[in-house]
């Protein structure tokens, strides 16, 4: 597994894996190219590479993931508020009661 983008570019299988990831982004319409606003820090990206194996240890495929480095942002400069997707305990109880009622 390559550790850097430069290293991945030396092997066709990783270039192909990166292209698959970009094609999937395009197919799902998950990003849009926009002009960079002045005085705004752009979140950088990083490629992560992983060899997916089957149960016998054989190579299934080479997987490349493009991830954002959001940890480099500073509150008050790059964003004002942050939110975590956390459910209230009452909502979980209601969901579990409904699931039990429906015998899921």
Q: Which residues pair with 62 in a beta bridge?
A: 51
Between 20 and 83, residue with greater pLDDT: 20
Q: What is the pTM of this model?
A: 0.62
Between 7 and 76, residue with greater pLDDT: 7
Q: Hey, is 28 helix, strand or coil? A: helix
Q: Is the pLDDT of residue 20 over 70?
A: yes
Question: pLDDT of 33-85, one tens digit each?
Answer: 888 888 777 778 899 999 998 888 888 899 999 988 766 666 565 555 666 67
Q: Is the pLDDT of residue 21 over 90?
A: yes
Question: CB atoms < 10 A from the CB of 83, how many?
Answer: 5
């Amino acid at each position: 597994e390559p550790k850097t983008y430069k290293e991945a570019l030396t092997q066709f299988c990783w270039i192909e894996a990166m292209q698959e990831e970009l094609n999937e982004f395009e197919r799902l319409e998950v990003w849009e190219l926009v002009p960079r606003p002045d005085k705004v820090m752009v979140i950088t990206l990083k490629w992560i590479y992983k060899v997916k194996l089957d149960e016998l240890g054989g190579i299934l495929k080479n997987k490349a993931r493009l991830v954002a480095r959001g940890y480099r942002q500073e509150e008050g400069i790059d964003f004002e508020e942050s939110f975590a997707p956390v459910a209230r305990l009452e909502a979980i109880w209601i969901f579990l009661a409904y699931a039990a009622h429906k015998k899921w």
